[in-house]
């Protein structure tokens, strides 16, 4: 990360701006489970928002979890085993130094979905309109659209990093079906693969004003011999104050990622890091 030097005049102007009556204070969400002291203080003092089971807008954060909550990505088909063996992750029991691996995010390719829903414990925001819900991920600021206008998934849609998703309400549950996922993304850091024919069914439930549950089932017969059903829902917490929390800008910059690999990740993986 680059650090710049700002003039004292800039700081003086910034202080005046922050103290002005018209300045709208904003706060950051949890990142990896941590929040700044000022953000935590504001969250504790914030009023609990009115509860509407159909209003899932806001910034949400959950403990870093696997989307399937412990369900194993198996059994693999022959094609699935071939793809799995070709993936060389930098984490888990098959982990290798990034320079020897082929994790797509090492080149700053989009992590895709569902990997980005929990990547590195970062939050996401849901922006809700009558026509669609837009899911904005803090990491890489990736966008996922969930269409609510009654359309179905086009059979000839091009593969997308975040898929093509449609949703509808059944009572207080938002049912989301999606498909047409770019097969170059991984499902997780362990290198579990998927094909372009993968489909995902999700159930979003909002049991109280501060909680969002997401249950997931992955179906990809070309890669997995049976549907992968999550053992439990992922649980996300609304970040307060609801109307004043902003996602940070976190992009993966190829030059900085390569520098970090060369100076930190690779030496650590090879056991040559300076102590």
- Residue 63 pLDDT greater than 90, yes or no: no
Considering the domain boundaries, does residue 188 fall inside one? Answer: yes
Sole residue written with tokens 């103290």: 19
> Is pLDDT larger for residue 171 or for residue 121?
171
Considering the domain boundaries, does residue 262 fall inside one? Answer: no
Q: What is the pLDDT of residues 200-214, one digit of tens each?
A: 999 999 999 999 999
- Residue 2 pLDDT greater than 70, yes or no: no
> Is pLDDT larger for residue 263 or for residue 273?
263
- The pTM for the full model equals 0.85
Considering the domain boundaries, does residue 151 fall inside one? Answer: yes
- What total of structural domains would you count in the chain? 1
Dig out the tokens for 15 from the structure: 């202080």
Considering the domain boundaries, does residue 264 fall inside one? Answer: no
How much is the average pLDDT of 23-32? 83
Whether the CB-CB separation of 88 and 101 falls below 8 Å is answered with yes
Q: What is the pLDDT of residues 5-21, one digit of tens each?
A: 333 443 333 333 344 44
> Is pLDDT larger for residue 251 or for residue 259?
251
Residues 6+ apart with CB under 8 A from 124: 59, 60, 116, 117, 135, 136, 137, 138, 247
Dig out the tokens for 210 from the structure: 């501060």
- Residue 230 pLDDT greater than 60, yes or no: yes
Q: What is the pLDDT of residues 64-76, one digit of tens each?
A: 778 999 999 999 9
Domain housing 103: 58-244
The number of beta carbons lying within 10 Å of the beta carbon of residue 242 is 18
Dig out the tokens for 108 from the structure: 């700053």
The closest alpha carbon to 178, from 214, 218, 215, belongs to 218
Considering the domain boundaries, does residue 181 fall inside one? Answer: yes
What is the distance, to the nearest Å, from the Cα of residue 170 to the centroid of all Cα atoms in its chain? Answer: 25
Considering the domain boundaries, does residue 13 fall inside one? Answer: no
Average pLDDT, the chain: 88
β pairing state of 164-170 and 173-179? antiparallel
Considering the domain boundaries, does residue 38 fall inside one? Answer: no
The closest alpha carbon to 238, from 52, 54, 39, 48, belongs to 48
List alpha helices for the chain, DSSP H: 8-19, 37-45, 78-86, 254-260, 266-270
pLDDT-based confidence at residue 97 (cuts at 50, 70, 90) = confident
- The secondary structure of residue 183, as a DSSP letter, is T
Considering the domain boundaries, does residue 196 fall inside one? Answer: yes
3-state SS of 46-93?
CCCCCCCCCCCCEEEECCCCCCCCCCCCCCECHHHHHHHHHCCCCCCC
Report d(CA 170, CA 183) in Å as an integer.
30
pLDDT-based confidence at residue 257 (cuts at 50, 70, 90) = low
């Amino acid at each position: 990360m680059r650090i710049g030097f700002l003039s004292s005049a800039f700081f003086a102007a910034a202080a005046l701006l922050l103290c002005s009556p018209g300045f709208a204070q904003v706060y950051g969400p949890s990142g990896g489970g941590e929040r700044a002291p000022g953000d935590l203080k504001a969250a504790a003092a914030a009023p609990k928002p009115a509860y509407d089971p159909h209003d899932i807008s806001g910034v949400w954060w959950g403990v870093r979890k696997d989307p399937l909550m412990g369900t194993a990505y198996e059994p693999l088909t022959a094609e699935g085993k071939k793809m799995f063996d070709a993936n060389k992750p930098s984490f888990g029991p098959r982990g290798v130094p990034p320079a020897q691996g082929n994790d797509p995010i090492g080149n700053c390719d989009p992590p895709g979905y569902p990997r980005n829903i929990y990547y590195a414990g970062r939050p996401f925001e849901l922006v809700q309109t009558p026509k669609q819900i837009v899911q904005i991920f803090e990491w890489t600021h990736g966008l996922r659209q969930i269409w609510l206008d009654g359309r179905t998934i086009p059979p000839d849609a091009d593969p997308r990093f975040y898929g093509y998703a449609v949703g509808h309400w059944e009572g207080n549950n938002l049912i989301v079906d999606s498909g047409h996922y770019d097969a170059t993304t991984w499902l997780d850091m362990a290198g579990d693969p998927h094909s372009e024919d993968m489909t995902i069914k999700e159930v979003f439930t909002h049991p109280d004003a501060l909680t969002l549950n997401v249950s997931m089932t992955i179906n990809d017969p070309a890669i997995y011999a049976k549907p992968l059903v999550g053992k439990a829902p992922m649980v996300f917490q609304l970040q307060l104050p609801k109307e004043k929390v902003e996602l940070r800008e976190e992009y993966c910059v190829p030059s900085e990622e390569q520098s970090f690999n060369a100076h930190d990740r690779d030496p650590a993986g090879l056991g040559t890091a300076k102590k």
